[in-house]
């Protein structure tokens, strides 16, 4: 379906044309009409499916720019996602008078407050910084017509749900609520049941947790992954790649080891100042950096359009983390490759990751014999312990008591 088939303003259609947006993605096709109609929406779709546009386009459409008040509030889990969200809204609203703005930690509140007092129609915020404004300023949320919770599962994972509940309780007036998430844990389901009114429920690719255009490659490296990684980076046709590690320490070691071989390289992690992280992300978007070593600070929601390969140097600790990391490639229908380097100790959990994520693996080199999942191993272990305890119990009961 084309965007021109929607009943939206010519100025927005003009902006979408400048952005190269012609055809809607499935989530956009299913979500935009009910949002425009004022319904609550609960949307679950694969990462990289176009959820930001699905929300942002109807939001810009429904804003009255003549009212100098905040009319839409979007909650996101991270600073980087807030910056990206407001940038996308800015592109959509470029030919209108709608003003989006983001508030998050790491920036002086006084500077953000000055902008809020001037003119803001759509406010994008992280939960903690928004609560700072609610408690310490005269921020007026009484004119909000639409509340958006984006990356709701990540806000749950990061411990923000209590903050989100508190913010939602501050919006006592009638309003539209939109909830978007890549996965739908029980806590998010409960949140939706409590705050959404007869929502239009959209679930796409429920059995496929990663983009359909993404190929999942794996290589069994044994104990030493470094030679395999260097060989892959040298010989694979990589436009841009994010190389994920499970910890800042591991990422620092990898970055140091790769600097001697590759020059177009950076390392991004949560310990950097916000300004440093923003600069690295911007350079990466401008393709000034080819390889970016990263911890999971870069794994959620961020849209790096030129990423052709995601490489898991460390195998992710959960199947959800695998989904969100690998979703940095293959976004919006573009092709991409996710390469995971598998050590001997990773084999035990890999079988479950493949099953839960519905992945048909492509092995580079010889495929290993996958071990039983850790869950199966623990079940067997518990069964053995139970048998031993039962046997001991019988022995104790059979022993006469001496008086």
pLDDT tens per residue, range 231-290: 999 999 999 999 999 999 999 999 999 998 999 999 998 788 877 888 888 899 889 999
Tell me which residue has tokens 């255009």.
213
What are the C-alpha distances in Å from 11 to residues 50, 59, 88, 95, 123? 20, 14, 15, 5, 21
Task: Let me know how many helices (H) and strands (E) the chain has, helices first.
Answer: 15, 14
Secondary element (H or E) of residue 95: none
Ranges of CATH 3.40.50.300 domains, the chain: 3-203, 214-372
Q: Contact 107/130 with Cβ under 8 angstroms?
A: no
Roughly what angle, to the nearest 10 degrees, separates helices 10-18 and 79-92? 120
What share of the chain has pLDDT > 70, as a percent? 86
From the options 3.40.50.300, 3.30.70.1350, 3.80.30.20, 3.90.170.10, give the CATH code of 3-203.
Answer: 3.40.50.300
Quick count: other Cβ atoms within 10 Å of Cβ 186?
8
The answer to whether residue 356 scores a pLDDT higher than 80 is yes
Q: Averaging pLDDT over each range in 82-86, 96-100, 219-223, 348-352, which range is the top one?
A: 96-100
Q: How buried is residue 385: exposed, middle or buried, by Cβ count under 10 Å (0-12/13-18/19+)?
A: exposed
Q: Is the dihedral of CA 337, 203, 319, 185 positive or negative?
A: positive
> What local confidence, expressed as pLDDT, does residue 305 receive?
75
pLDDT averaged over the chain?
A: 84
* Rounded distance between C-alpha atoms, residue 32 and residue 92, angstroms: 14
The answer to whether residue 401 scores a pLDDT higher than 60 is no
How large is the average pLDDT for residues 20-28? 86
Lowest mean pLDDT among 88-92, 383-387, 399-403: 399-403
Q: Averaging pLDDT over each range in 113-127, 339-353, 371-385, which range is the top one?
A: 113-127
CATH class assigned to 214-372: alpha beta
> What local confidence, expressed as pLDDT, does residue 207 receive?
45
Q: Contact 146/55 with Cβ under 8 angstroms?
A: no
> What local confidence, expressed as pLDDT, does residue 279 receive?
87
The answer for 187, left when phi > 0, alpha when psi is -120 to 50, beta otherwise, is alpha
Q: Contact 185/92 with Cβ under 8 angstroms?
A: no
Roughly what angle, to the nearest 10 degrees, separates helices 79-92 and 274-285? 50
Q: Contact 233/379 with Cβ under 8 angstroms?
A: no
* Rounded distance between C-alpha atoms, residue 126 and residue 103, angstroms: 7
> What local confidence, expressed as pLDDT, does residue 58 receive?
96
330: pLDDT confidence band, cut at 50, 70 and 90? low
Lowest mean pLDDT among 35-49, 158-172, 326-340, 361-375: 361-375
Would you state the structure tokens that stand for residue 352, as one six-digit string? 């479950």
* Rounded distance between C-alpha atoms, residue 128 and residue 104, angstroms: 8
The answer to whether residue 374 scores a pLDDT higher than 50 is no
Within 13 Å of residue 87, how many CA atoms lie on the same side as its CB? 12
* Rounded distance between C-alpha atoms, residue 287 and residue 294, angstroms: 16
Would you state the structure tokens that stand for residue 273, as one six-digit string? 């100042």
pTM comes to 0.67
> What local confidence, expressed as pLDDT, does residue 281 receive?
85
Would you state the structure tokens that stand for residue 333, as one six-digit string? 């229908």
* Rounded distance between C-alpha atoms, residue 378 and residue 99, angstroms: 54
The answer to whether residue 333 scores a pLDDT higher than 50 is yes
26: pLDDT confidence band, cut at 50, 70 and 90? confident
Give pairs for 270-279: CB < 8 Å, separation 24+: 270/295, 270/297, 273/106, 274/79, 274/105, 274/106, 274/107, 275/106, 277/79, 277/80, 278/80, 278/83
The answer to whether residue 204 scores a pLDDT higher than 90 is no
Map residue 141 onto helix, strand or coil. Answer: coil
Map residue 52 onto helix, strand or coil. Answer: helix
Give the tens place of pLDDT for each residue, 133-154: 999 999 999 999 999 999 888 8
Would you state the structure tokens that stand for residue 82, as one six-digit string? 């807030």
**Closest by alpha carbon to 89, among 139, 54, 116?**
54
């Amino acid at each position: 379906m084309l965007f021109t088939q929607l009943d939206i303003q010519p100025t927005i259609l003009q902006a979408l044309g400048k952005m190269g947006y012609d055809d809607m993605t499935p989530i956009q096709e299913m979500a935009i009409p009910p949002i425009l109609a004022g319904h609550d929406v609960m949307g679950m779709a694969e990462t990289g499916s176009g959820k930001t546009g699905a929300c942002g386009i109807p939001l810009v459409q429904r804003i009255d720019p003549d009212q100098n008040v905040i009319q839409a509030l979007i909650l996101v889990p991270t600073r980087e996602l807030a910056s990206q969200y407001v940038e996308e809204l800015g592109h959509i609203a470029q030919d209108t008078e709608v003003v989006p703005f983001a508030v998050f930690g790491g920036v002086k509140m006084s500077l953000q407050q000055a902008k809020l007092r001037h003119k803001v129609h759509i406010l994008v915020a992280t939960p903690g910084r928004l609560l700072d404004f609610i408690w310490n300023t005269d921020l007026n949320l009484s004119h909000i017509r639409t509340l958006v919770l984006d990356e709701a599962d990540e806000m749950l994972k990061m411990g923000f749900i209590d903050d989100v509940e508190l913010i939602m309780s501050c919006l006592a007036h009638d309003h539209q609520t939109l909830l978007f998430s890549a996965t739908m844990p029980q806590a998010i389901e409960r949140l939706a049941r409590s705050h959404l009114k007869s929502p239009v429920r959209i679930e796409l690719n429920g059995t496929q947790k990663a983009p359909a255009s993404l190929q999942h490659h794996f290589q069994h490296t044994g104990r030493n992954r470094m030679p395999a990684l260097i060989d892959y980076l040298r010989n694979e046709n990589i436009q841009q790649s994010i190389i994920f590690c499970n910890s800042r320490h591991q990422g620092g070691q990898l970055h140091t080891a790769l600097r001697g071989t590759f020059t177009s390289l950076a390392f991004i992690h949560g310990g950097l100042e916000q300004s440093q992280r923003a600069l690295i992300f911007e350079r990466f978007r401008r393709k000034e950096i080819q390889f970016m070593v990263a911890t999971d600070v870069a794994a959620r929601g961020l849209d790096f359009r030129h990423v052709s390969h995601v490489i898991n140097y460390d195998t992710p600790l959960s199947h959800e983390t695998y989904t969100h990391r690998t979703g940095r490639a293959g976004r919006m229908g573009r092709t991409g490759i996710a390469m995971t380097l598998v050590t001997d100790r990773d084999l035990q959990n890999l079988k479950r990751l493949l099953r839960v994520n519905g992945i048909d693996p492509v092995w580079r080199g010889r495929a290993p014999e996958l071990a039983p999942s850790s869950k199966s191993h623990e079940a067997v272990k518990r069964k053995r312990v139970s048998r031993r305890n039962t046997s001991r119990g019988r022995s104790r009961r059979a022993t006469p008591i001496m008086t």
